[in-house]
Chains A and B, each alone.
Chain A
Amino acid sequence: AQKVTQAQTEISVVEKEDVTLDCVYETRDTTYYLFWYKQPPSGELVFLIRRNSFDEQNEISGRYSWNFQKSTSSFNFTITASQVVDSAVYFCALKSGAGSYQLTFGKGTKLSVIP
């Protein structure tokens, strides 16, 4: 069985601060994919990034960066110099198992960026 844990329920930061959202996953499969999605107040889930289990290379994309560590089963997400528009609920998700096509989501972290 797979599980995704986002321990942070809500985070508030002041604009321009950096913020890291934590994600810990559980799976017995050796091949799996990890995702981050953003859900703004409008409700539509927006895809941010995908990583497969064989690609531990961390990445920076603009103000976003990701830290994937298989040794600790973590896939954390950092926003640098946060902006009010970053306010949303962020979900970490896992897809594992060759015969599985479903995403398992965490409960989400609500990020509020205060001007």
Chain B
Amino acid sequence: GAGVSQTPSNKVTEKGKYVELRCDPISGHTALYWYRQSLGQGPEFLIYFQGTGAADDSGLPNDRFFAVRPEGSVSTLKIQRTERGDSAVYLCASSPVMSTGSWAEQFFGPGTRLTVL
């Protein structure tokens, strides 16, 4: 089946602009995650959705970052007033629901490379 897809694959924008990054999870996966990966670093957690609601947004760096998942499938990460420091690869992952006490691996998309000039 199809994996996690992300669009666009590359986004170049100017400082101060607004951007939206889209994630299509694997069909049937109720959990969706956003991570940010800076050059030479491991991915850093941003936000986690279970269904339509953000269950954990503790990784969002500030209020310029916001994410939605209105129908429990596709998610959009929104960044307002972009800054050069926002340049990174934004990764989306999804996982299926597991029984209580267990944990499922996260399947990652190819990422969106955001460059803020």
Contacts and interface: CB of A to CB of B under 8 A. Distances in A.
A103 interface: yes
B56 interface: yes
Given A33-B103, A43-B111, A106 B42 contact: yes
Contacts, number: 57
Interface residues of A, number: 24
A45 B103 contact: no
Contact of B110 (A43, A52, A93, A103): A43
A81 to B, nearest CB: 26
A102 B108 contact: no
B48 A44 contact: no
B44 A105 contact: yes
Contact of B106 (A44, A47, A100): A47
B40 A107 contact: yes
A45 B43 contact: yes
A35 B89 CA distance: 21
A72 B55 CA distance: 33
B91 A107 contact: no
Interface in A1-39: 4, 33, 35, 37
A105 B43 CA distance: 6
Interface of A: 4, 33, 35, 37, 42-47, 50, 52, 91, 93, 95, 100-108
Interface of B: 31, 33, 35, 40-45, 48, 50, 55-56, 58-59, 89, 91, 93, 103, 105-111
